Amino acid sequence: MRLAAVSALLILGAGSAAARDARPLSQDDVDWLRRDSFELDSATVAMYRDLGRSRLFDRQLDGRISDDLPAPITTLINSYEAANTPTEQLLTNLRDEQDKIKNMPEGDDKAAARKAQQQHANDLLQQAQEIEMLHAIYGPNQLKEQMVWFWLNHFSVYGAKGRVRWVAADYVQNTIRPHALGKFRDLVMATLESPAMMEFLDNAQNAKGHVNENYARELMELHTLGVGSGYTQQDVQQLALILTGAGVAPLRDPAAMRPRVAEMVVRNGMFEFNPRRHDFSDKVLLGHKIKGSGFDEITEAVDIITKQPACAQFVSKKLAEYFVSDNPPPELVAKMARTFQRTDGDIAEVLQTMFDSKELAASYGKKFKDPMQFVVSSVRMAYDGKPIANAKPLLNWLNQLGEPVFGRLTPDGWPLDSTGWSSSGQMAKRFEIAGAIGTGNNRLLTPEGQPKMGGDFPMLTTRLYYDTFDAKLSAPTRDALAKATTQQEWNTFLLSSPDFNYR
């Protein structure tokens, strides 16, 4: 008897009364839930059965689904310096390290200190990457976790630039995460005030007489309005002037300011608006006159930009590209854009419009997973809530697939369409990773720095599989699974199958 059939009989015979009596999910339920989450696990399915689609979705959107992670995962994250050290303290430590190294005489000791500082920065970035992966895998509100990843990519920062490594964890947890389902305008302001964005796109160097247009250009082109939306080079120049003085707060006591000037300073965490670096001339942005007044110019400019019809269209299209189709139907995008404008950029309302659409339902099984989705979904399906002890293999797999967290050198973020992720080389690498997960030949369960624990592999032929995946498997995938001679091989075939790689 084939392995899958034997497993099915064992599961059906040993299933609890609660499992047997659980309301079966329709194929539409399964398809919807696979799009709503990174991938199914037993806890997500149980929550869906308990609440139903509408109540689950409403609770996801309004934050009534807890963000709490399993206790072992929380303990792991809390062991990271990047998670338990305030951003200002991290940057102060960096400053002190740099001062110490600067004052050292040239020689081997100075070179070793520089190398140690570089390793420290790399460790902090790795911790930030691992924190994001662990939230994506274990976060109960899977829609929110997808939106955190979406916005982290939309407002992309490159981890290896400058001090970004030191503030990357703060960027995800304190900039992106709190605003992932809120108002888009608030999210733009949060990214604008984040030290990661100020460092990456150089606005920390943007000052009167030394204007840097980099962030102003990307704010309109990549974050809000999109190419071809009608803004001009003059708008970029004017926005750059508006943004002069916005940057990262100094870690040393600033020189004394006149009281009238000091009153105009704005501090929010590590963000600082310094009026002495600001151009106070009047500006004209997208046809709107903005009087030179200091920080209020920035909030006024963001209001103007995010209320543009082009902003509603641009953001709605990007969301539809992520969730629905590489080439989303214009009618759906227009409907989402109308919701965006009607609700003043309420992200949750725009998602509601999209998830209620016939276009989303028509796209089930046709959206190819990007590398992040593939890795996260594979671990969710294979380990089904079992806490891992070492997240480093997750990063290695994303590196191999070419989509590391904080790894995009250019500010445009990783592509949302399948063309960048479906080459023959990519698929061969996915098969290798599916094998590493399916056979247990990885170090996920071994705490970093300890000898590898042996032989433990996941069991994918579970009630979860038979209740959700089994009914819709294609004939080629069934044929491949039938040829598996071990559970490990069966796992590998399922995780690398088209049925699993499309959602």
pLDDT at 12 over 90: no
pLDDT band at residue 288, thresholds of 50, 70 and 90? very high
Query: Within a 10 A sphere around the Cβ of 208, how many other Cβ atoms?
Result: 15
| pLDDT given for residue 443 in this prediction | 92
Residue with tokens 């590398």: 371
| pLDDT given for residue 392 in this prediction | 97
| pLDDT given for residue 269 in this prediction | 93
| pLDDT given for residue 261 in this prediction | 83
| pLDDT given for residue 453 in this prediction | 64
Contact 159, 269 (CB under 8 A): no
Please state the rounded mean pLDDT for residues 176-180: 98
Q: What tokens appear for 84 in the block? A: 């338990």
Q: What tokens appear for 359 in the block? A: 């276009």
pLDDT at 1 over 70: no
Please state the rounded mean pLDDT for residues 271-276: 96
**Could you tell me the residue ranges of all domains in the chain?**
3-42+367-501
Please state the rounded mean pLDDT for residues 312-331: 98
| pLDDT given for residue 69 in this prediction | 97
| pLDDT given for residue 442 in this prediction | 92
350, 330, 408: which is closest to 129 by C-alpha?
Answer: 408
Instruction: For the chain, give the percent of residues with pLDDT over 70.
Output: 95
Contact 12, 354 (CB under 8 A): no
Contact 248, 230 (CB under 8 A): no
Give 339-397 pLDDT, tens digit per residue: 999 999 999 999 999 999 999 999 999 999 999 999 999 999 999 999 999 999 999 99
Strands 288-290 and 266-268, bridge-based pairing:
unpaired
CA 371 distance to own-chain centroid: 12
Q: What tokens appear for 161 in the block? A: 């630039």
Q: What tokens appear for 116 in the block? A: 């140690």
Q: Decide which of 3 and 10 is more confident.
A: 3
Give 13-53 pLDDT, tens digit per residue: 344 434 444 567 999 999 999 999 999 999 999 999 999 99
pLDDT band at residue 311, thresholds of 50, 70 and 90? very high
Q: What tokens appear for 291 in the block? A: 């009087």
Strands 266-268 and 271-273, bridge-based pairing:
antiparallel
| Helix ranges, 182-258 (H) | 184-192, 195-200, 214-218, 233-242
| pLDDT given for residue 22 in this prediction | 57
pLDDT at 169 over 60: yes
CA 272 distance to own-chain centroid: 26
What's the mean pLDDT when you consider all of the chain?
Answer: 93
Give φ, ψ of 156 to 5 degrees: -70, 140
| pLDDT given for residue 23 in this prediction | 67
Q: Is 154 exposed, middle or buried (0-12, 13-18, 19+ CB in 10 A)?
A: buried
pTM given for the model = 0.93
Give 416-449 pLDDT, tens digit per residue: 999 989 999 999 999 999 999 999 999 998 888 7
Q: Which helix (H) or strand (E) holds 283?
A: strand 283-285
Give 450-484 pLDDT, tens digit per residue: 877 655 789 899 999 999 999 889 999 999 999 99
| pLDDT given for residue 454 in this prediction | 56
